[in-house]
Amino acid sequence: MQLEATRVDIGTSRPLVLLNTVDAAELGAHPLDRVRIEHDDGTMTGIVKRTDELVAAGSIGVTEPLHHVRGTVDVTLAGPPRSVRYVRKKLDDIELEADELETIVRDIHENRLSDVELSAYVSAVYTNGLSLEETKHLTEAMSGVGQRLTWETPVVADKHSIGGVAGNCVTPIMVAIVTAAGLTMPKTSSRAVTSPAGTADVMEVLCDVEFTIAEIESIVAETNGCLVWGGGVDLSPVDDEIIRAENPLSVDPPGQLIASVLSKKRSAGSTHVVIDIPYGEGAKVESLVAARELADDFKRVGDHLAVDVSCAITHGTDPIGRGIGPTLEARDVLDVLESEGPESLRLKSLRLAEMLLEHCGVDASSTEILESGQALERFRRIVAAQGGDPEIEATDLEPGAESTTVHAARSGITTRVDNRQLCDLARRAGAPLDSRAGLVIHRTVTEQVEPGDPLYTIHAETPTKLAEAERLADELEPVRVRSKADALVERR
Amino acid sequence: MQLEATRVDIGTSRPLVLLNTVDAAELGAHPLDRVRIEHDDGTMTGIVKRTDELVAAGSIGVTEPLHHVRGTVDVTLAGPPRSVRYVRKKLDDIELEADELETIVRDIHENRLSDVELSAYVSAVYTNGLSLEETKHLTEAMSGVGQRLTWETPVVADKHSIGGVAGNCVTPIMVAIVTAAGLTMPKTSSRAVTSPAGTADVMEVLCDVEFTIAEIESIVAETNGCLVWGGGVDLSPVDDEIIRAENPLSVDPPGQLIASVLSKKRSAGSTHVVIDIPYGEGAKVESLVAARELADDFKRVGDHLAVDVSCAITHGTDPIGRGIGPTLEARDVLDVLESEGPESLRLKSLRLAEMLLEHCGVDASSTEILESGQALERFRRIVAAQGGDPEIEATDLEPGAESTTVHAARSGITTRVDNRQLCDLARRAGAPLDSRAGLVIHRTVTEQVEPGDPLYTIHAETPTKLAEAERLADELEPVRVRSKADALVERR
């Protein structure tokens, strides 16, 4: 069928084609079917949507990935991509071969799967699991697409946290310590997806984080490290697509998690990686046994890829540090580097840095590097290399001026400081987009409190956002106080 | 956030909202997140898409289900609907309760699930299965939405085929026989989704098929039966949504199939139903054991709903009748009613009608009703009641004038007449939209053929469609001929 191509933007990055209902019927094309589009410069495939209004009969609307398709084109029905068969196979709980996983990864990368098919892949992997062999093949396939970084030093240090802990901004401190010890640590980090601040959001308070590969190489040549946004360098990009389908379902199957993390590390050219696995109630991994299994699988897949992996199982039930939100976490980071800072952040950073140094075979004391000021000095050089002000101090960082403090209503012990509720609250206050929005936690878990003691403070940049966060705070109870004497919580 | 609502049609029936990237970021709304829209007449929920172009900052584009939303509206982030938790639970292979299945059905009905979530539901049901209890609850829940028909007679006969067999148009013949025997059989049928002709498409060659409930009641009052399109009466409409996600994955899990079929039967007011379960290579059910299991489950769920179910396990590897496509199948139907017709269609219709009569406790011979002409006479009354010409005869029905016959290239036995390939071919020739397009099969399976014997004829309405079908025929081999002497099929 001959149709006239017109561009449309309907808020998607997939190659969709909009057909008028009349043309779709004539072609026998149902929603989610594929059509082959032959145009002057080649052949493309698009996924069908039908419309009565947006596109007139005789025309075909094409979304962004097909925007180079112009003029009169020949449209015919096409079958589904090969990977749909393999998704179906995984739904049938049959182990996938290396080339089948590679086809799935390629089709996801080239946006060939519809949401229904992508979700079926995620659901199949979640419910039937991935074997160790499959995870290895998937990791290789995922690191086979996108860009690849290479470094001249034989040892390239890296770290990753599987996430879920509020305020857990250990990365800048670790990079400062490890690079000060002479190792290369070119760290690429993400921005927040569902959390109030990713490491990239925190660093952006202090300096630029978006750089080209050439710029990153020059920053690393100058300082041994960097703290940049990974989205700018397209490492293992299939991960982002998979996460898009995992998020609405709140699933994060272990095999897929390992493949996502290690494919990124391999593409980043990392040789020695410490993986932080927080576990406990409300964390991604709920039990110590599950954390150990995950750690072992991380190491096995790492071996297969010749990436040296070491895992730190950590406490994942309550936040690390005092601040939550970009500016407040940046302040904690500087506080630790300058002097004492919040103890939980300081200790976790030291322990993980120590592990990474040892893992890389470097005999240096992270405590000494931190306490002597070498880490701070190195951090300032990185900030300067990334276009920031190296003289900035913790006290220069002001959180949002609109604030409310929530106080204890009774005396007792803090029995729970809830990561998820704190994250929701910080986001409602405006984080990460309003970088000075967020929370300051005044009490950690198992502390004695008296009525009127401050539990946490909400900061926002505008009165509206503060009001919204206050409304949510009334519904939640992120810091729970319980008295042993109180069988009854309240009467109303 | 205050935004100005504007209507958009982007080829979807889901309640989507398009936000400009700037507003989406400000709101913290990711693709597939939900937003609550408070407008003058109430509150609605929409699923987020982001766009740079289609909708300007300060506006919100709303798709059809939200088209009553106008003017300035207040938009805030909302959580996912409750059923997403239950989908996740099913992914975890935990049995769902009646109210949880009901919530899923309601949210699907009200278009509250995104494609990712709907697909996760289908994938979970496919991979973890539904228990008998779950299937019962799901069937009840599905028949609880949409319209409901009621009839005055205590016995209401019905039939359903789970599909996959080309040319299998037994329904009009069965309705003619069963209603001629004095039973009520108000049959609602579907149009083709992935096949070359549904029963509604075939009947539409002879008369109208789209009627209101009142009109259907009057047709049934006059003739004891009808042969109408079910899409006009909205019986168990959730089924259509689920099929939309099942099709791209080519899955049709048994529990879901039972729930879809029996919820429709219950909503149609049927009391006695014969289910046709074709089995064999290439059919939906591949083994006799699986067919028997499915039949038993159909009966158990029927018992639970007080619908009397009886199952016919039939041959599903090769087509029934001679013609494939609306007009060609209508011709076969009239041929059987008028005189002999294709034996496979005649015999299957007789056996199923016999079963249905017996199942309803009626002592009548379907062969006698057919051979005496009573069935033909009754069929003509139904055609007349549905606005068609009762005098129409098989010989009045001409297939598309553009045609090609494919001949045997060697001598041997027909070892396979492939349903799926024949369907693809008939669709490529234009069926069901071009009602006179389709195929005539000249050889059934296990017949002796000589070189040059006709195997099948393709009919199309236009030369272009015929050429397209010919091209596909060159790739396929829907009627396979094999000689015992030929170890080698061909050398090239």
Q: What tens digit of pLDDT does each residue of A171-194 get?
A: 999 999 999 999 999 999 988 878
Of A372, A308, A303, A347, which Cα lies nearest the Cα of A444?
A347
Enumerate the residues of chain B whose CB falls inside 8 A of the CB of residue A247.
Answer: 30, 32
Q: Amino acid identity of B393?
A: E
Closest CA to B124 of B264, B256, B258, B3: B256
How high is the mean pLDDT of chain B? 92
Average pLDDT, chain A: 92
For residue A25, the model assigns a pLDDT of: 82
Low-confidence spans in chain B with pLDDT less than 50: none
Catalytic, out of A23, A33, A107, A252: A252
Check pLDDT > 80 for residue A484: no
- Phi, psi angles (nearest 5°) of residue A278: -70, 135
| Mutation target among B59, B249, B468 for the A interface, most CBs of A within 10 A | B249
CA distance B364 to A64: 64
Q: What amino acid occupies position B313?
A: I
Checking if the pLDDT of A328 tops 80, the result is yes
Which range is least confidently modeled, A120-124, A205-209, A291-295, A413-417? A413-417
- Cis bond upstream, residue B463 (ω within 30): no
Question: Which residues fall within 8 angstroms of residue A394, CB to CB, at 6 or more apart?
Answer: A331, A332, A334, A335, A338, A341
- pLDDT greater than 70 at residue A276: yes
Contact B117 A249 (CB under 8 A): yes
DSSP letter string, A343-386? HHHHHHHHHHHHHHHHHTT----HHHHHHTTHHHHHHHHHHHHT
CA distance B88 to chain A (A): 6
For β-strands A157-161 and B454-460, DSSP reports them as unpaired
Would you list the DSSP string of B229-243? EGGGTTBSTHHHHHH
Gap between the Cα atoms of A477 and A429, Å rounded: 16
> In angstroms, rounded to a whole number, what is the distance separating the alpha carbons of residues A488 and A490?
6
Say which of A49, A51, A84 has its CB closest to residue B248: A84
Distance CA A177, CA A161 (A): 17
Give me the phi and psi of B377, to 5 degrees please: -60, -45
pLDDT in tens, A394-446: 999 999 999 999 999 888 888 889 998 999 999 999 999 899 999 999 998 88
CATH 3.40.1030.10 domain locations along chain B:
157-385
Tell me which CATH code domain B157-385 carries.
3.40.1030.10
Compute, in degrees rounded to 10, the torsion defined by CA atoms B32, B34, B39, B41.
Answer: 100
Q: A348-361 burial, b for 16+ CB within 10 Å, e for fewer?
A: bbbbbbbbbbebbe
Q: Where in chain A is the domain with CATH 3.40.1030.10?
A: 157-233+252-385
Q: Which residue has the tokens 């919100």?
A: B60
Closest to B206 measured CA to CA, from B381, B440, B352: B381
Percent of all residues in chain A with a pLDDT value above 90, rounded to a whole number: 68
Each residue's pLDDT tens digit, A42-70: 888 888 888 887 889 999 998 888 888 88
CATH number of A402-482: 3.90.1170.30
Is the backbone of residue A476 left (phi > 0), alpha (psi -120 to 50) or beta? Answer: beta
Q: Contacts of residue B251 in chain A, CB cutoff 8 Å? A: 88, 91
Residue A315 token pair:
């406490």
- The Cβ of residue B71 has, within 10 Å, a number of other Cβ atoms equal to 8
Residue A479 is predicted with a pLDDT of 92
Domain B83-129 has CATH 3.30.460.10: no
The C-alpha atoms of residue A25 and residue B452 are separated, in whole angstroms, by 36
Are the CB atoms for B121 and B87 separated by under 8 Å? yes
* Gap between the Cα atoms of A436 and A182, Å rounded: 33
Contacts of A115 in chain B (CB under 8 A): 114-116, 119
For A1-38, the pLDDT digits (tens) are 899 998 887 777 788 899 998 888 888 787 778 888 98
Distance from CA of A28 to the nearest CA of B (A): 8
Express as a percent the part of chain A with pLDDT over 70. 98
Q: What is the mean pLDDT of residues A278-304?
A: 92
Question: What is the number of H-type helices and E-type strands within chain B?
Answer: 17, 18
Q: Per the structure block, which two tokens stand in for B66?
A: 């939200």
| CA atoms of B393 and B331, how far apart (whole Å) | 8
Mean pLDDT of A302-331: 95
Start and end residues for every CATH 2.40.40.20 domain found in chain A: 2-78
Q: How far, in Å, CA of A459 to CA of A442, rounded?
A: 13
Q: What tokens appear for A387 in the block?
A: 């276009």
Largest pairwise CA distance in chain B: 79
CB contact under 8 A, B11 and A51: yes
Cβ-nearest to A427 among B28, B120, B124: B28
Tally Cβ neighbours within 10 Å of residue B288.
11
Of B141, B212, B198, B144, nearest in space to B169 by CA: B198
Q: What are the strands of the beta sheet with A272-279, ordered from one edge? A: A157-161, A272-279, A308-315
**Angle, vertex CA B131, rays to CA B129 and CA B137, nearest 5:** 115
Mutation pick from A16, A193, A247, A249 vs chain B, by most beta carbons of B within 10 Å, is A249
| CATH architecture, range B2-78 | Beta Barrel (2.40)
Chain A residues closer than 8 Å to B427 by CB: 28
Amino acid identity, residue A397?
A: L
From B50's Cα to the closest Cα of chain A, the distance in A is 4
Contact A404, A460 (CB under 8 A): no
B59 vs B38: CA distance, rounded Å: 14
Query: Where along chain A do the CATH 1.20.970.10 domains lie?
Result: 83-129
Share of chain B above pLDDT 90, in %: 68
pLDDT of residue A490: 59
Q: Find chain A residues with C-beta within 8 A of B253's C-beta.
A: none
Using CA atoms, how far apart are residues A371 and A106, in angstroms rounded to an integer?
48
Which one, of B194, B166, B198, B159, lies nearest residue B316 by Cα?
B166
Quote the crossing angle between the two packed helices B254-267 and B115-128, to the nearest 10°: 110
Residue in A88, A116, A193 nearest the CB of B115? A116
Sign of the Cα pseudo-torsion (B362, B364, B366, B371, in order): negative
- The pLDDT tens digits for B174-195 are 999 999 999 999 999 988 878 8
pLDDT beyond 90 at A212: yes
Closest CA to B467 of B407, B420, B436, B425: B425
Residue B388: CB atoms within 10 Å: 18
HSE, side-chain direction, 13 A CA sphere, residue B404? 18
Q: Check: CATH 3.40.1030.10 for A157-233+252-385?
A: yes
For residue A296, the surrounding DSSP H or E stretch is helix A288-305
Contact B228, B200 (CB under 8 A): yes
How many CA atoms within 13 Å lie on the side-chain side of A414?
24
Phi, psi of B412 (to 5 degrees): 160, -160
CATH 3.90.1170.30 in chain B: give the residue spans. Answer: 402-482
d(CA A207, CA A389) in angstroms, rounded, equals 7
What is the spatial distance between Cα A158 and Cα A168, in angstroms, rounded to a whole number? 16
Per residue in B305-350, pLDDT (tens digit) is: 999 999 999 999 889 999 999 999 999 999 999 998 999 999 999 9
Asked if residue A281 has pLDDT above 90, the reply is no
- pLDDT computed for residue B487 by the predictor: 67
Structure tokens at B210: 């789209």
Cα separation values, A472 from A73, A393, A426, A478, B132, Å: 53, 32, 10, 11, 42
CA distance A478 to A439: 11
Q: Which residue of A has its CA nearest to B30?
A: A193
- Whose structure tokens read 């015999």? B347
Q: Under DSSP, is residue B145 helix (H, G, I), strand (E, B) or coil?
A: coil
**Strand duo A59-62 + A323-324: pairing:** unpaired
Which among A49, A51, A123 has the least Cβ separation from residue B91? A123
Per-residue pLDDT reduced to its tens digit, A93-127: 999 999 999 999 999 998 889 899 999 999 999 99
Residue with tokens 């070491």: A310
Left, alpha or beta for A5 (phi > 0: left; psi -120 to 50: alpha)?
A: beta
SS3 content of chain B, % helix, strand, coil (to 5): 40, 20, 35
